[in-house]
Chains A and B, each alone.
Chain A
C-alpha cells in the first residue's frame, strides 16, 4: 500500500499518481455535505444561482458531525454512505467538484463522471470518528444551520487518512 501526502487543491499530477487501494493523507479545506445539502446545492445550480462553496479547490466530505463537546475543536466526524449522494454527484462534478470523501461503492454513472471530470473519490474508514477528529485543526458552521447535522461545516484537516476507492 502506497501512501501519498496530498494538499488540496488536487492537481492532475496527483490523480495520475494514485492507484486503487492507496492511502492518501489529505491536507486542506473540507466542506461537509450530505443528503439535504446536496439537494439544496443542486437546486441552486438548477435555478442558475452561484454556488456558495469553492468546489474545485476543496473537497466534499459526506459527513454529519456530532455536536462539539466543550473545549474541543470538533465533535466526532466520519463518512456517511456515499451512494445516497449518487443522484446529485454528476451535476456537482460538472460544476467543478474534484474530491469526494465518503464510504461505500458508487454507481456506474458516478464512476464514469468521476473519470470524465478527472475527479477523485476517497473512502474514509467509517465508525472511527473520534480518531478522525484528531486530524481537524479548525472547524466551523458554514451554511444552513437549520439543517442541524446536515448543515455545511467547514474544516481544516492535516494528514486526514483516506484510501483511493476500488
Chain B
C-alpha cells in the first residue's frame, strides 16, 4: 500500500503569500547579475544609464515596499502535484486563489486583468485570476512555480507551425526576426522562452515553462545549448538594445524546451519576458 502524505492547506497559503512577497519588488537575482555584468562593460552612455537605473530600481523597490514594475502582471503557476499527496483543509484551487488575493492586498499590487476580453473589459478587483498549469507526478511532493507575467512582454509572443524542412538556421532566423522586430515594446533586455515541438497548445506552454527555467542555464543537450547561444548572440548582434534605443543588450538569455512532435509538424512558440523577470519556486 502506498504512503499518503497529508499537508495542511494553510501551509501552501502561507508559502504562496511569502513567495509573492519575494518577487513583486525584485527581479530574478540571475537577471540582476547579468545586468550588472552588461552594465560594467557597457560603453554607450544611454544604455549604461538605463542599465544603472534598472539596478537602482531593484534596490529601491524592496526598500520602499513598492512593486519593481507597476504592471504586477498575471499570476502564472506551474504546479507539480505528487499523486500521493493529499491536501487537508481547503481545496487546492481555492487555497491558491485566496493566497494570491491576500498577497495582492498585502503588497498593494495592481489589478490588471479584465473579466472578458471584448465588450466591457471590466477590471477584476476582488481576485487575482491566476493561470494555472497542473501536472500530476509520482511521489508525495508539491512543487510550485510562481511568476508574475507583465502584459507588455506577453503581447510580444509568437507561434508558428513550421514546415519540417526547417533547419537550425531557419529556427534561428525566425526567432531573431521576431525578437528584433518587436523592438522596445517588451522592455528589453528580455528573456526568450522557446517551446519547440509538442503540438499547437503544448508548444506555447513549453515556451512559458522555458522562461521559468533558471535564467542563463545551459541546455543539457549540447545541440540545443549551442542553438540557444547562437540565437542569443544573433539577437544581440542586431543591436536593438535596451528599451529598443539602439545600444546595449536586447536579450539576456535564450531558453529552449522541447517535446516529441508529429511527423508532419515542427511547432515553434516564442514567449518573452521583460528584464523585470519575476518568478520563484518552492516545494512542500
Contact = CB atoms under 8 A, between A and B. Distances in A.
A103 B152 CA distance: 10
Interface in A125-153: 125-131, 133-134, 147-150
B212 interface: no
B191 to A, nearest CB: 12
B276 A66 contact: no
A65 B152 contact: no
B50 A75 contact: no
A60 to B, nearest CB: 16
A69 B65 contact: yes
B112 A83 contact: no
Contact of A166 (B53, B108, B112, B245): B245
B68 A133 contact: no
B123 A127 contact: no
Given A1-B45, A76-B66, A126-B69, A66 B109 contact: yes
Given A103-B185, A149-B123, A125 B69 contact: no
A80 interface: yes
> What is the predominant secondary structure among interface residues of chain B facing chain A?
loop
B108 A69 contact: yes
B183 A104 contact: yes
B246 to A, nearest CB: 6
Contacts of B275: 127
Contacts of B60: 130-131, 134
A103 B243 contact: yes
> What is the predominant secondary structure among interface residues of chain A facing chain B?
loop
Interface residues of A, number: 39
Interface in B245-284: 245-246, 274-276
A126 B152 contact: yes
B54 interface: yes
A83 B71 CA distance: 17
A123 B245 contact: yes
Contact of A80 (B152, B183, B242, B244): B152
Contact of B111 (A63, A125, A149): A149
A76 B57 CA distance: 11
Interface of A: 1, 21, 23, 36, 63-69, 72, 75-78, 80-81, 83, 103-105, 123, 125-131, 133-134, 147-150, 161, 163, 166
Interface of B: 25, 27, 45-46, 49-50, 53-54, 56-57, 60-61, 64-72, 108-112, 121, 123, 125, 150-152, 155, 183-187, 242-246, 274-276
7 contacts: A64-B110, A67-B109, A69-B66, A72-B66, A129-B69, A130-B68, A134-B60
